[in-house]
Amino acid sequence: MKTIIRSTTCADRLLFLLLVLASCAGIFISREAVSQSSDVLIEVNGKAAYTFPLTTDRLVTVDGPCGPTVVEIRERKVHVREASCPNRLCLKEGWISKGVIVCLPNRIVVTVGGGSAGSPRGVDAVTG
């Protein structure tokens, strides 16, 4: 072992250390970054219909039982732009960058980033 270490130059050792440190840091940074640049999942009737990256702007028209629902992705945020459901609650949800928008009558669920929207003030569920 000793002779092996002695056979390496200073630059060798430095390079190795640098590579290990940089890649270890990279592992954590990339995990963080990827968990943030999440996907937009659109489900109709409980079945996954589309998955899009949040980073690409686009308009998607999804057909549900009540008719088309237009979902818009823009600047890493998602909202329902047009809806044909009777109560249009989904329109009122506004723009989200994490969490869920639901249109119950049209059976459409739009989930951003795994859906675990930070529940209000450390609560696991809400009754009422």
Partner 1 sequence: MQLQDKYRIALLSAYALSLHGFEALLPTPIPWLKLGLANIITLVALMLYGFKTAMTVTLIRVILASIFTGTFLGPSFMLSLGGGVSSTAAMGLAWAVSRHFFGPVGLSLIGALFHNAAQLALAYLVFIQRIEAIMIISPVIILIGAVTGLMNGVVGGLLIKNLSRE
Partner 2 sequence: MKTNLVAVLIFAALLNPLACAGRKPAVYKKTKPLMDTLVTITVVANSEGEAEKAIDAALSAIDRFSSLINFFSDQSELARINREAGIRPVRVSPDTLGVIERAIFIAEKSGGAFDPTIGPEIRMWDFLKKIRPSDASIREKLGLVNYRDILIDRDKSTVFLRRKGMMLDLGGIAKGYAADMALENLKQNNIAAGLVAAAGDIRAFGLKPDGTPWTIGIKNPRQKGDADELIARARLTGKAISTSGDYERYFIEDGRRYHHLLDPRTGYPSAGCRSVTVISDSGLYADGFSTAVFVSGPEKGMKLVAEAGVDAVIIDRDGGIHTTPGLKGLVAFEDNH
Residues that bind partner 2 (CB under 8 A): 1, 4, 27, 43, 45-46, 86-87, 100, 102, 104, 107, 109, 111, 114-116, 119-128
The number of beta carbons lying within 10 Å of the beta carbon of residue 61 is 10
Taking the complex as a whole, the smallest distance from the CB of residue 83 to partner 2 amounts, in Å, to 15
Rg (CA), the chain: 23
Residue type, 104: L
One character per residue 43-62, x = contact with partner 1 (rule: CB under 8 A):
----------x---------
Q: Report the relative pairing of strands 67-74 and 58-64 from DSSP bridges.
A: antiparallel
Instruction: Count how many residues are written for the chain.
Output: 128
Following DSSP, what letter does each residue of 12-38 receive, concatenated?
A: HHHHHHHHHHHHHHHHHHHHHHHHHS-
Question: 123 contacts which partner out of partner 1, partner 2, none, CB within 5 to 8 A by kind?
Answer: partner 2
Taking the complex as a whole, the smallest distance from the CB of residue 114 to partner 1 amounts, in Å, to 14
Q: How far apart are alpha carbons 26 and 39 in whole angstroms?
A: 21
Taking the complex as a whole, the smallest distance from the CB of residue 80 to partner 1 amounts, in Å, to 25
Q: How far apart are alpha carbons 82 and 26 in whole angstroms?
A: 41
Applying CB under 8 A, the span of 12-20, 61-69, 79-87, 92-100 interacting with partner 1 comes to 12-20
| Residues making contact with partner 1 (CB under 8 A) | 4, 7-9, 11-12, 15-16, 19-20, 22-27, 29-31, 33-34, 37, 53
